Amino acid sequence: MLLVEQGPQAVTLKAVAGRIGRTHANLLHHFGSADGLQSALIQRMTALVVAPIRDAARRSRERKDPAELVDVVFDAFGANGAGALATWMILNGNQDALDPILTAVHDLVEELSREQRPDAPIKDETLQLVLAALGDALLGAPMARALGLPRDRARAITRQMLLRDRGAAEA
């Protein structure tokens, strides 16, 4: 995938057209602009990551261990390129393009909240987890390297924080 291989700056109409064997004009007609293409990409990515996150969140509550959920969210932002794409859109002033993912996260949190205890800290956990995963996607590898830490240390720290917060909420 062009996004993962070369980053969001490479997701241009010309590059995508070349990759899929179409003309720049075809894509321009369909998407209107590079912003339109990136908006369509974020909508597609949203659809692909929400279901696995929903499933992992439910299993995480059943098992009382957020490890799988942390991995799924970190992978969504890192390995799948959503973090880089979201940051690119924000930095280029195309924040509205993030509405599909923000709406999907909101809807998922509301859905999961109905299934949990009323005092479950799901909104706080979501904020903490998403910001940690986004930060890791953008700066995790070089920061871990600079500090001499294992690459997956941010995941482990996030898991520990979620376990601690859940334990405190249940006490």
C-alpha to C-alpha distance for 94 and 46, rounded to whole angstroms: 16
User: Which two tokens mark 87?
Assistant: 């940051």
Q: Return the pLDDT at 4.
A: 53
Residue 87 is classified by DSSP as: H
Q: Which pLDDT belongs to residue 113? A: 86
The C-alpha atoms of residue 67 and residue 156 are separated, in whole angstroms, by: 8
At 77 the pLDDT is 86
Tokens of 131: 């910001």
Query: Contact at 8 Å (CB) between 1 and 81?
Result: yes
Specify the DSSP class assigned to residue 17. H
- What tens-digit pLDDT sequence spans the chain (171 residues)? 655 565 566 666 666 666 777 776 776 777 777 777 777 777 887 877 888 899 999 898 888 889 999 999 999 888 877 788 788 778 877 778 788 888 989 999 999 888 776 666 888 899 999 999 999 999 999 999 999 999 999 999 999 999 888 776 665
Instruction: Output the pLDDT for position 30.
Output: 73
Does the model's pTM come out above 0.75?
A: yes
- Per-residue model confidence (pLDDT) at position 141: 95
Q: What is the pLDDT of residue 90?
A: 82
Say if residues 106 and 24 touch (Cβ distance below 8 Å): no
C-alpha span between 150 and 67 (Å, rounded): 17
Return contacts of 77-81, CB within 8 angstroms, 24+ apart: 77/130, 77/133, 77/134, 77/136, 77/137, 78/133, 78/136, 78/137, 78/140, 79/4, 80/4, 80/45, 80/48, 80/49, 81/1, 81/3, 81/4, 81/7, 81/8, 81/45
